[in-house]
Amino acid sequence: MVEPDLVLQFEIEKGRSPDIENVARALLAWNEAVQVAVAAIDPSARVRVELSGVEHGSQRFKQILRFLEDGAEAIEEGGQEYPLIFKQVKALAKLIGGGILMAVLLGEVVPDEHQKVLEEIRDLLRDSPEMRRHSEEFFDTLQEEPAIASVELYEGNADKLIYSVPRSEFAQKSGLFQVVDDNLPVERIEQRLATWDVVLIRPVLVAKPRRWTFSKDGIEFSAEMVDKSVLAAIRDKTIAIPFAEGVMMKVEVSYNEEFDGAVWKPIAKSRKVTRVLSPRVVLPPGALFSNTG
């Protein structure tokens, strides 16, 4: 039994090109999330997500959900008995990686006995550490790749849009399957900017934004290095300061904090080193405006 093609599309910022490693990591995390969802729907089902085509010159990845024989028979039998549930289950299997489970479950009117089954599946997935981990990996990878502006999922040859998530929402997708309760305080995310004295633990000396490891007050953390002066100096091999373990640094850091209704909590993987204040990187005139490739 083969489901309609799924096309996972990454919209790219104009003039930029994504790192192929980040694209591969995101695809792997999405595929793993789909498989966890199918297992929650029917533990006897086995599914393989096949990459059936990549459109030339684009970031469109055509995929097929292929249920293997034993699982296909089990799901078909259930589908014959409960056709509406079967329809919703197939939709759920396709949408689970996109973080819009509630829209699937609440978007259509279904009989009470069917809704109960769907809500049980929802609760199972919402509480699944494995599902949460794969979902976080998917959006964390997209958040770390500055060239990706949005992610979209289409179904079939007609390119029917199933969902679209803009970059502005990537950082908020660390907990995908949350029940919205109007009685709970509204959560919100705000960006902070701070200057920290840190110790360099592990640099990544490539001329692209990557997560470096630092220590602040004896506690290690990682932050994406986005200081253009540092990246340009690495690229041009003109860096004159020893970026090595143990170097004391003063850095400007941006990060997001989330208000949970009671307190503000930092979002760990949102940290970025926007400027290295010391030791200072001095570039020759015009270096920041040279071709970055």
d(CA 259, CA 263): 6
Q: How far is CA 128 from CA 36, 125, 198, in A?
A: 9, 5, 36
Q: What is the pLDDT of residues 125-179, one digit of tens each?
A: 666 677 777 777 888 888 888 888 887 776 655 456 766 778 887 776 644 334 3
Helix (H, G, I), strand (E, B) or coil at 246: coil
93 exposed, middle or buried (CB, 10 Å; 0-12, 13-18, 19+)?
buried
Residue with the bigger pLDDT between 94 and 30: it is 30
Q: What is the pLDDT of residues 6-52, one digit of tens each?
A: 667 778 887 887 787 887 888 788 777 777 766 666 666 565 665 55
Q: What confidence score (pLDDT) does residue 80 get?
A: 45
As a whole number, mean pLDDT of residues 244-253 equals 89
d(CA 68, CA 106): 29
d(CA 143, CA 216): 23
Q: What confidence score (pLDDT) does residue 1 get?
A: 40
Please name each of the domains of the chain with its CATH number.
6-172 (no CATH), 188-289 (2.40.50)
As a whole number, mean pLDDT of residues 106-127 equals 57
Let me know: does 238 contact 188? Beta carbons within 8 Å: no
Angle among Cα 137, 194, 19 to the nearest 5 degrees reads 35
Residue 229 tokens read as 């002066």
